Amino acid sequence: MPSTLTGLIAHTGKPGAASMVEKLCAEFARHSAEIKIEAKTAGLIHLESPHTTRSLGEICDILLVLGGDGTILQVQHELGDRIKPIFGINLGALGFLTCISSGDYLKAVDSILNKVYTLSFRTLLEVEVLRDGRELARRRGLNDAVISRGELSRLIKLEVKIDGSRLADYNADGLVISTPTGSTAYSLSAGGPILTPDSGVFVITPICPHVLTNRSVIVNDSTEIEVTPCKEQGAVYLTVDGQELLVIQPGDTIRIRKSAQDLPLAMLPGISFSEVLSQKLKWSGSAV
């Protein structure tokens, strides 16, 4: 079996990250397996490395990411188009995207070296901002695109089109356009449905809508979604996966479609999405 070159990236601010990096490096060394470490991650154990997340995406076969869901979102953004499979070890509290807990790090190393994992290919959003017909910005997201009112306590009005046809004018605090992966994040908090990763759809969910009949709408992921702030109001704000804040002026158009690339997430075989959902959301059937 050909060897697997693994890249190691950690959320350096997480408690226990340094200890886990040290243990993982020792375990890979025990198996005489090569591992490349991202620069800030290497600094946790007083090593130097020339590698960025993006450069690891260029040279490695799989990326071992220590942190939580937010860490994986950040890594996905830093990879750009150099996407590689991600095997997540959870150092946080919830972790829908991570594969395994920190206590099972030996199992993680064994799974990677022996390729005992499956890949769940997650849909990515391609988000484009247009002003006067010209591209102003382009972002790619795993979870969602969120259009919001910012810090001002006021409703915003957003015109939404589906493949060029008007869907609705939303008067709300904002709007979440989510992938199936992101359906357990902000969209769920805003009242949206939970989608299975392979459902092949997007969900459009208003945040605190003024009209109570405005509810989540599920559309096929081959659909192009257009969101335009109405001209009689001020600027609104766009974030993709909670990353960089973009100011959207009245009349700008936000176009959202399925990206040509997917993100492969490593999963342990024999563990279904429904089991993960039940565990993470504590659906035990108990009333307490």
- Report pLDDT for 152: 67
What does pTM read for this prediction? 0.90
Judge contact between 112 and 85, C-beta under 8 A: no
Q: Write down how long the chain is.
A: 288
Mark residue 241 as left, alpha or beta (left: phi above 0; alpha: psi -120 to 50; beta: remaining). Answer: left
Which of 13-17, 169-173, 202-206 is most confident? 202-206
Which domains, and CATH codes, for the chain?
Answer: 6-117+268-280 (3.40.50.10330), 124-260 (2.60.200.30)
Per-residue b or e along 166-181, where b marks 16 or more CB atoms closer than 10 Å to that residue's CB: ebbebbbbbbbbbbbb
Query: DSSP label at 215?
Result: -
Which pair of structure tokens corresponds to residue 163?
């493949």
In the predicted model, what is the mean pLDDT of the chain? 92
Handedness of CA 237, 238, 239, 244 (dihedral sign): negative
Give pLDDT tens digits for 98-108.
Answer: 888 899 999 99
pLDDT score at 59? 97
pLDDT above 90 (res 191): yes
286 pLDDT above the threshold of 90: no
Q: What is the DSSP string of 136-198?
A: EEEEEESSEEEEE-TTS-S-EEEEEEETTEEEEEEEESEEEEE-TGGGGTHHHHTTPPP--TT
Q: Where are the beta strands (DSSP E) in 75-155?
A: 86-90, 100-101, 118-131, 134-141, 144-148
The pLDDT of residue 94 is 67
At 287, the pLDDT band (50, 70, 90 cuts) reads low
Residue 199 has pLDDT above 80, yes or no: yes
pLDDT of 219-252, one tens digit each?
999 999 999 998 877 889 999 999 989 999 988 9
Q: Which residues contact 162 (CB under 8 A, 6 or more apart)?
A: 219, 223, 224, 225, 226
Question: Among 45-59, 146-160, 178-192, whose mean pLDDT is lowest?
Answer: 146-160
Positions marked catalytic: 69
Provide the pLDDT for residue 285: 63
Q: Binning pLDDT at 50, 70 and 90, where does residue 271 land?
A: confident
* Cβ atoms within 10 Å, residue 256: 22
Give the amino acid at 254: I
pLDDT at 162: 97
